[in-house]
Structure 1
């Protein structure tokens, strides 16, 4: 029995080095190692270099929870996301923020709201605050989420991706300007009978893109029909396209996202028509597959990498200096491909 116990002990994994191991190997006190970890100004450069070198040799990794207790800084930011983060735009935003945070030396903790009622939002916020996050980025499609957050007493700095707000908490892509670019492109191609396939009415981005379409049509003095409210899916785009093509009183459609545009192109082809010869289509987002649609999709590109970088920069600025000046939003870019041409009639 004794031999079996000894064999089990020898097979157990080695203990991870701790702060006292580092101190012993470097010939300093553990308080000195702690000061190095916290970048204390009283530590001589030579001592700091020796301690850091020993940390690397021993592969010592400081305990993040312990450091939080000592420094009151977790080096963690939170992302508060709606369940709709499964869509391309929100998902890309989350990925971009995670990448930018890592580059800045921060961890990321994400909390998904189980619903967008006040209780669901409060529960998700409480979850993040309980993890000692230093700031929060809010990614949610509905304006009501931001209305609730503005009423709550959020105890840490936060930044929102809310394109319809002038709040100093906001960083966003100019959705309305991007929609105007898409609409203007169709008008400049000679189209006058243009429909807009919009996103869900309660989505901020959908409302902004719809407003941009209507503004550009009005600015060009071109009559419009009521936008069609979709659900972002290719299936809806296909069904809407089949219904619209029964009358065919249009030559172009601006779709509020690329997935619905894909469904529209499918419907056009099933009707025996050609895109762009018979109907031109413009999308929004420039998803990775957009360049490989047939025809390749003309669309509005959002720079999610830059959006993530600016969100994190804004948030970290608010953490270190609450009166930081608001960072400007990002201009959308029109990417012209093969799905648009002049009208054939």
Structure 2
């Protein structure tokens, strides 16, 4: 155990804690004006962070061989949970995305993202060649991705479903899919995008139209984006000061503690504070990709790279959405947005990363990491 602690990547852990701390301060600012009804959300977030740290060390200390061996079991469990959501899931905001477990709402699609990364890492690592992965080997990977994509799209949640496609694209790059194959798949995928319009629901089409022109419905579909851009822009260079933001205090900004948490931070801390947060995220993503490049095990390298890509996608989409550069989708900002499912899943991801990153020591010392604690 002590050897595992010594070999754990502490920079990742400390960066995560700093981001959680920043998120907690932001959640307090964004929710202190909410009507009092039970336990305040920032107290709940503290509990989720503590539970998340426990999850982090749980996945950090199990044998790295167990993660690879159980990758497909984890993926199957995620698919089963997504099926259960469609059958008995809790409806919120017009979408059936949640399971209620003892009064705690859990979003299986967050867990499914990590499960897909592990499954694709296992698949690609078994078919990797120095010539690159060809089209024939890519087809099963597409089928694997299609399962959670369709199940989540049926909830419906196209924003989260799209993340599964981003994960597949990232894993294709990491696994060195042949350039010609990647180009053809990219062209085919781009050509298929207009066809999505015909299968989208009316409110989803409205989101796209509002993204193109928020002013067409300023008090309806465009309200989120307009108020978010006001919050970000009014922060200026140094911000209005902690707890001094008007958009958050007067509750003009919807979902200000979840999807639009970055807008609250930008208003109160300005461009400077936003830049500091983004630099922290950049340091975390860089470290994750560095660990992926240093791993001596192919599965570990692919999985760590996939996790880094997943976090990068979440950060870019959320920040772009808040700034009006991307349609409004339910993609939280890792460690900053409020949410138990998101926090536990993110901590699990970091625990897996810390676990698999130890393989960079394994081959240097000639030791084998046991398959159990």
TM-score by length of 1: 0.24
Bigger Rg, which one: 1
Using CA pairs below 8 Å that are at least 6 residues apart, which structure has the higher relative contact order? 2
* Bigger strand share: 1
* Bigger helix share: 2
TM-score by length of 2: 0.23
